[in-house]
Amino acid sequence: MHEARVTASLDRVARKTNYSALRCELDDFNETHASVKRGAAIFPVKFGISFTASFMNQASALVHLYTDGTVSISHGGVEMGQGLNTKVAQIVASEIGVSMDRLRVECHSTQRTANTSPTAASTGADLNGSAALNAIRQIRARLQPVAVALLEEKFGNKVAVSRLVFRDNRVFDMRTPKHALDLAELLHHAWMKRVDLSAHGFYATPRLGFDWSRGKGSPFAYFVFGAALVITEVDLLTGVVALERVSIVHETARSLNEGVDRGQIEGAFMQGFGWCTMEELPRDEKGRLLAASADHL
């Protein structure tokens, strides 16, 4: 199965770039240019998503709903420009039907979410988004019977929990969408009824475990696949290297935010390009990295 997905990624990037014709173009270019040459490389990737230390695959979140219809979210991930806060906010917004302008993601702090795992290994959205989803689902479950009672009292129609819809800052029975409560109205009513509008959510990635001594187990929750083709040009006289073309294919499954995912893929390539071409990694005779911190620069 995994081999098929690797092959699919390679085939797709080859089709998108017309790789066979591209090879001929490069050969023609190199034959007619003595001091400047171009080369192409195509490479697949299979990357496991999870921390290989199983205990790190856990996260918590704290969600508050306020009577004015706004939402506060705290989670254990660190936003460093990768769009994590946006994804977590979208998860909560989708579940409770609130617009993004009514959500506030608080600064990361262990005073709000304690004992947090690192934000790394491509787990940030998985772990913290799932913890936030757990929290908002707890609150939604508390609100459902309150919403049913208030809708029936206000509009006189029989309402079922299974038909409740939380959408566009409103709550309604899917059979009678015109008879809707404003979310703020529902939250204020729930508060008056002494319903808890806060929740702590927790998530631990299931079915993980690996025996390093035997080399057996499941260290990753899942794998992602992709492939990239890069064309570079080298000036043989000056040594100047230029990127001529980059084509990347990467799985995203059902993307939480296409713009964020595209930015992460493009940013990851530029990070890797800089690491491979401009960063020096000196090591000692035992292979230990000498530039492991700023003290060694």
The answer on pLDDT for 233 being more than 90 is yes
Tens digit of each residue's pLDDT (9 = 90 or more) over 205-229:
999 998 888 989 999 999 999 999 9
Q: Between β-strands 170-173 and 222-235, what pairing exists: parallel, antiparallel or unpaired?
A: unpaired
Domains of the chain: 2-50+220-279 (3.30.365.10), 55-204 (3.30.365.10)
**Residue 264, amino acid:** Q
- pTM of the prediction? 0.87
Tens digit of each residue's pLDDT (9 = 90 or more) over 118-136:
999 899 999 999 999 999 9
Q: 111-117 long-range CB contacts below 8 Å, 24 or more apart?
A: 112/62, 112/74, 113/60, 113/61, 113/62, 113/74, 113/75, 113/76, 114/60, 115/60, 116/59, 116/60, 116/76, 116/77, 117/51, 117/56, 117/57, 117/58, 117/59, 117/76
The answer on pLDDT for 297 being more than 60 is no
Tens digit of each residue's pLDDT (9 = 90 or more) over 18-51:
999 999 999 999 999 999 999 999 999 999 999 9
In the structure encoding, which two tokens stand for residue 197, read together?
């509008």
